[in-house]
Amino acid sequence: MDDLNQLLLGFQVALTWHNVLFMIVGVLLGIVVGVLPGLGGPNGVAILLPLTFGMDPTSAIILLSSIYWGALFGGAITSILFNIPGEAWSVATTFDGYPMAQQGRAGEALTAAFTASFIGALSGVILITFVAPLVAKFALRFGPAEFFGVFFLTFCSFIGTGRENKAKIVASLALGFLLAAVGLDTISGDLRLTFGSPELMKGFDFLVVVIGLFGVSEILLTIEEGLHFKGKRAAMDLAVVLRTWASLPRYWATLLRSSVVGMWMGVTPGGAIAASFMGYGLAKRFSRTPEAFGRGEVEGVLAPETAAHAAGTSALLPMLALGIPGSATAAVLLGGLMIWGLQPGPLLFIEKKEFVWGLIASMYLGNVAGLLIVLATVPVFAAIMRIPFALVAPIILVVCAIGAYTVESSRFDIWLMLVFGIVGYVFKKLDYPLAPLVLALVLGDRAEDAFRQALLGSGGDLSIFFSNGLVSTLMILALLLLFWGPLGQVRQLIARRIGLARAAPASP
């Protein structure tokens, strides 16, 4: 009940004129970011983050999280109209969204996608409203060992649930940790891994890395595909929207299923992409007409969008309550919080109540605003995609360079951005996942501090990580997730052996 009062106070914070204005501006910017190639959620937020340093933290985070909502909505536009997924989690949306657009049902597909996004996001926000304070309260009892346990769980679930080659996920994580270690060590005060270079003394700023990895590399990848986009036209009018909405209650089971899948996958990190595919797969399996999927079935748009957005939103839950982001964009937002001097984690719920609840309230409002704005402005944003790439690309690159520079007012950072642009291009082409790298870069110092403090407390004894029920559970869960894939393979292998052993005597 207390939390609901807090939420009402939060709405009062979020509903001031200038915060609503920031919300609308954020959503519009976010849609642009989501529609344009080379700008996605993570680096759209990263580029704009330095501009918000002068604002008060609540307004700043409302602006930035609205960009996030906008980018989530915008991704669907390109998936459906152009068959180009704006983000990895909109890949599944193209399966049925683009065929619908080809059949001239683009308006229907877009309405379905936006509404599904909205429902997914809403279920994520509701989860945050009710569960985040409980998690935060629970986490107040955490010591360094428990915190390291949670970090460990996060990284292991990335490795365990990732679709990429496991060795590459580990390599990406480890590289992120090493990059995070460069510069001043907070505990001993020594310089590490700088090799005497003064430019490296301040370390690698994650914003610069994100702008390079996600921005510059995306432009390079897009150019590779050729310079032209061929899109379908979308006719949006109120009749189409209302007719689509009227048909939605029929799919309540799909929406519910995808929301639950999304929420679960979002809280356990690395999941938005997996969630969208799982949502799609489940909808197809439970459908009465599975053969219609892939040929323009509304359910095939609804299911992945709901799941992806439920996951994308739920990814903010561990970020707020534990200080551990569930996605690359959440990691960037978390970095922003730290720059404003807000330490995300359980204490935030006690010390900065009005900030936390203002943010949660803005999630409700931002999504409502996002849905209305995106429905009203689809034709405008679809037109953006028709601007020649030779004009859009240099502007994006200029904006990336400015974004990298403004983080620390350092020209060296622009060079770093270029280097990470190449790294991102090569890594993406070789299927090295980038999100673990960013996550490790943002969390590296804190994970290391927790690890060292825990070991200091125990005098170097690793059994501290199994010293009580809570931390043991976390570590065992983490190890289970880590070895989930290999265990499954072993199980299959054994099952096959047994199967062979049984089959052998039957056919002598």
Judged by the rule CB under 8 A, the positions of this chain that interact with another protein are 50-51, 54, 165, 167-168, 170-171, 174-175, 177-178, 181, 185, 187-188, 190, 192-193, 195, 216, 219-220, 223-224, 226-227, 388-391, 393-395, 397-398, 401-402, 405-406, 409, 411, 414-415, 418, 421-422, 425-427, 429-430, 432, 448, 451-452, 455-456, 460
Residue whose CB is less far from another protein, 218 or 299 = 218
How is 342-375 classified by DSSP, letter by letter?
A: ---STTHHHHTHHHHHHHHHHHHHHHHHHHHHHH
3-state secondary structure of 192: strand
Q: Which is nearer to another protein, 293 or 427 (CB)?
A: 427
List, in sequence order, every residue forming a beta bridge with 191; answer none if it has no partner: 184
Task: Provide the minimum distance between the beta carbon of 279 and another protein in the complex, in angstroms, as a whole number.
Answer: 30
Measured CA to CA in angstroms, residue 382 lies from 21, 127, 233, 328 at distances of: 23, 33, 8, 26
Least distance CB 366 / another protein (angstroms): 22
Q: Least distance in Å: CB of 355 to another protein?
A: 22
Tell me how far, at minimum, the Cβ of 469 lies from another protein, in Å: 25
Span between the terminal Cα atoms of the chain, in Å: 71
Q: How far is the CB of 356 from another protein (least distance, A)?
A: 26
- Minimum CB separation of residue 463 from another protein in Å reads 16
CB 385 within 8 A of CB 81: yes
**Minimum distance of another protein from residue 170's CB (angstroms):** 4
Q: Give me 480's structure tokens.
A: 């289970």
| Cα 456 to Cα 86: distance, rounded to the nearest angstrom | 46
Neighbours of 398 (CB within 10 A): 10
* Nearest to another protein of 143, 281 (CB atom): 143
C-beta of residue 376 within 8 angstroms of C-beta of residue 28: no
Residue type (1 letter), 107:
G
CB 37 to another protein: min, Å: 12
Q: Which is nearer to another protein, 219 or 374 (CB)?
A: 219
Query: DSSP letters of 308-323?
Result: HHHHHHHTHHHHHHHS
Name which of 114 and 147 has its Cβ closer to another protein. Answer: 147
Could you tell me the smallest distance in angstroms from the CB atom of residue 347 to another protein? 24
CB of 342 to another protein, least distance (A): 21
Paired with 316 in beta bridges are none
Q: Which is nearer to another protein, 248 or 455 (CB)?
A: 455
* b/e per residue 359-382 (b: at least 16 CB within 10 A): bbbbbbbbbebbbebbbebbeebb
CB atoms inside a 10 Å sphere around CB 286: 13
Closest CB to another protein among residues 223, 479? 223
Listed residue (344, 284, 361, 502) closest to 11, CA to CA: 361
Q: What are phi and psi of 189, to 5 degrees?
A: 75, 10
In the complex with another protein, the residue whose CB is nearer, 356 or 393, is 393
> Are the CB atoms for 157 and 30 separated by under 8 Å?
no
Nearer to another protein, 333 or 399 (CB): 399
Q: How far is CA 175 from CA 155, 207, 438, in A?
A: 13, 16, 10
CA within 13 Å, CB half, 360: 31
The answer to whether the beta carbons of residues 48 and 403 sit under 8 Å apart is: yes
CB nearer another protein, residue 29 or residue 106: 29
Q: How many residues does the chain have?
A: 508
CB of 216 to another protein, least distance (A): 7
Nearer to another protein, 414 or 477 (CB): 414
